A and B are shown apart, each in its own frame.
Chain A
Amino acid sequence: METLNALTTLNAFPLAELEVGKQFYWHLGNLEIHGQILLTSWFVIGVLVIASILATRKIQMVPAGTQNLMEYALEFIRDLTKTQIGEKEYRPWVPFIGTLFLFIFISNWSGALIPWKLIRIPEGELAAPTGDINTTIALALLTSLAYFYAGFKKKGLGYFGNYVQPVAFMLPFKIIEDFTKPLSLSFRLFGNILADELVVAVLVLLVPLFIPLPVMALGLFTSAIQALIFATLAASYIGEAMEDHGEGHEEH
């Protein structure tokens, strides 16, 4: 838009540029790929892989350093999964929920902590991978697949019985729910991360020094909470798909 472009070109401070919807396209056959998202995602994956290798290289009985940190993270994720899915069936889902949580958490915080904007790329700018709708939709669809898989594996075709529990006229609502679950999961994460980045960018545009710091701290806090929420909800959907009939479960 004209006015917004004027706003973008107004600033004198090079770190305070505001670019939404501009992508660094890579062409791969007929596909268009958002290059900046691919770069930052692989950075996040690299950080996670290196951290896991460092933590598991010399495993000791009494953990120290990185191993201690990773064991703390694992325990946290295990407890989260256990409370949502239940004592009996939580174990096979810990890796999935843990992957979701760690990837989202590290990418949110990388967007807030690493000054990506110092690295110039031809078009668009490097930012948190979860600030792009494609990443969050992919994660949300994975969650959908996971809970369908969980339901069918546990109950076979009897999973469709869930759709008419507790009363038959719930059927259309349950079907709509299958679509709104990934929609709300992806929009919640995408909107929160993008909103954080926009608020910080607008404040930096207005007052470059010191004033944006509390907002940045708030951003760190909300991004951590969003990662927690995504993982909790994914686990609770999986638990809901596997639970036996007859007992109520909290819905979101």
Chain B
Amino acid sequence: MNPTVAAASVLAAALAVGLGAIGPGIGQGNAAGRAVEGIARQPEAEGKIRGTLLLSLAFMEALTIYGLVVALVLLFANPFS
């Protein structure tokens, strides 16, 4: 593989995961904080809140995973090599 392409791919993979983790991180923090607030206000609704929270956390996590998929493609199945 061309060393420039290799260097660019590794850098791009790092950026894809790193930048892709920022948004979902903020979102998950928000969601978890609000869920804790909700449980503190209404402890009897804990089960329902937990279920909804887990489901929505998984959706946010998917965004980072898209970045990870791009990074994995760049590292292991690079189309430019």
Task: Give residues in A with beta carbon < 8 Å to B.
Answer: 1-2, 4, 20-21, 184, 187-188, 190-192, 194-195, 198, 222, 225-226, 228-229, 232, 252
If the complex has contacts A1-B6, A1-B75, A21-B76, are A232 and B69 also in contact, measured as CB distance less than 8 A?
no
A195 to B62, CA, bound (A): 11
Known: A1-B6, A229-B58. A187 touches B69 (CB 8 A): yes
- Asked if A252 meets B59 with Cβ closer than 8 Å, knowing A4-B76, A194-B72, A195-B65, the reply is yes
With A1-B1, A1-B6, A20-B72 known as contacts, the answer to whether A229 contacts B55 (CB < 8 A) is yes
Interface of B is mostly: helix
Q: Is the CB of A191 within 8 A of B76?
A: no
- What residue of chain A has the Cβ atom nearest to residue B61's Cβ? A192
7 CB contacts below 8 A, A to B, read A1-B78, A2-B6, A20-B75, A187-B65, A192-B62, A195-B68, A229-B58
A192 CB to nearest B CB, Å:
6
Please measure, in the bound complex, the distance between the C-alpha atom of A85 and the C-alpha atom of B39, giving whole angstroms: 29
How far, in Å, is B65 (CB) from chain A's closest CB?
A: 3
Cα of A114 to Cα of B72 in the assembled complex, Å: 24
Q: Give the interface size bracket for B toward A.
A: 10 to 19
Most B CB contacts (10 A, CB to CB) among A2, A188, A190 go to A188
Interchain CA distance A194-B75 in the complex, whole Å: 14
User: Which of A2, A20, A184, A194 meets B62, CB within 8 Å?
Assistant: A184
Distance in angstroms from A135 CB to nearest chain B CB is 15
Measured between alpha carbons, how far is A195 from B55 in the docked complex, in Å? 18
Nearest first, the 6 closest Cβ-Cβ pairs linking A and B are A191-B65, A21-B76, A188-B62, A20-B76, A191-B69, A21-B77
Q: Chain B: which residue is nearest A133 at the CB level? A: B69
Convert B41-79 into 0s and 1s, putting 1 for each residue whose CB lies closer than 8 angstroms to a CB of A: 000000000000011001101100110110010011110
* Residue in B55, B61, B76, B78 whose CB lies within 8 Å of A232: B55
